[in-house]
Chains A and B, each alone.
Chain A
């Protein structure tokens, strides 16, 4: 899963 506090895309 992904961490919601880490949107690394623009």
Chain B
């Protein structure tokens, strides 16, 4: 554990909480892609199966359980509790275009050809593209509420901090997780355009922003 990794995990947690509290307080999930949230729940489910097989640390176990619970709570709020506000007409990204290549790749490129490792790899690859339905939705509707932008900012910050963490771990421990690093870098690139718009528009007080 290093400070970058911890800060990355905390950014991730803050992002998830921002989204959950936004939906809860406004009693609405307008502008939120339910598809992205289902994909993130799937990411956590397939990655954290090792909760049953290996103990790493109390921190690790607690965070996994918290991420799982929060992601399922978010999906519940969108599709059950506040489903009347769910904007399904604009949440039209074809998820199978992500799932098919990701499933295929996780069978081809993994650390060992076992169900647990293939599912772990699947979760890493899926996480790198899971935000695409949300970004697609923003592009389609032309704008996002500032709170949605804060959510995306902390999600992107989490990814950026994880890269710093990997550089740190490579130099201090010789640790290098090729699958996580390559897909992590790809994932972070998706946020670059968004980061630029966030800094130039949202932080300069316009509140809302639209993607070109």
Contacts and interface: CB of A to CB of B under 8 A. Distances in A.
B111 A9 contact: no
Given A4-B112, A4-B117, A9 B54 contact: no
Interface stretch (B23-31, B60-68, B130-138, B201-209): B60-68
- Provide the main secondary structure of the chain B interface: helix
Interface stretch (B74-82, B86-94, B172-180, B191-199): B172-180
Contacts of A4: 111-112, 117
Interface of A: 2, 4-10
Given A2-B176, A4-B111, A4-B112, A10 B54 contact: no
Instruction: Give the interface residue-count category, chain B.
Output: 20 to 34
Contact of B64 (A2, A5, A6, A10): A10
Contacts of A7: 47, 50, 120, 177
Contacts of A5: 50, 53-54
A8 B1 CA distance: 9
Nearest to A4: B111
Interface of B: 5, 9, 12, 47, 50, 53-54, 56-57, 60, 63-64, 67, 111-112, 117, 120, 162, 165, 175-177, 180
A10 B165 CA distance: 12
A4 to B, nearest CB: 4
Contact of A10 (B12, B111, B112, B176): B12
Given A5-B54, A10-B60, 15 more contacts: A2-B111, A2-B175, A2-B176, A2-B177, A5-B53, A6-B56, A7-B47, A7-B120, A9-B5, A9-B162, A9-B165, A9-B177, A9-B180, A10-B9, A10-B67
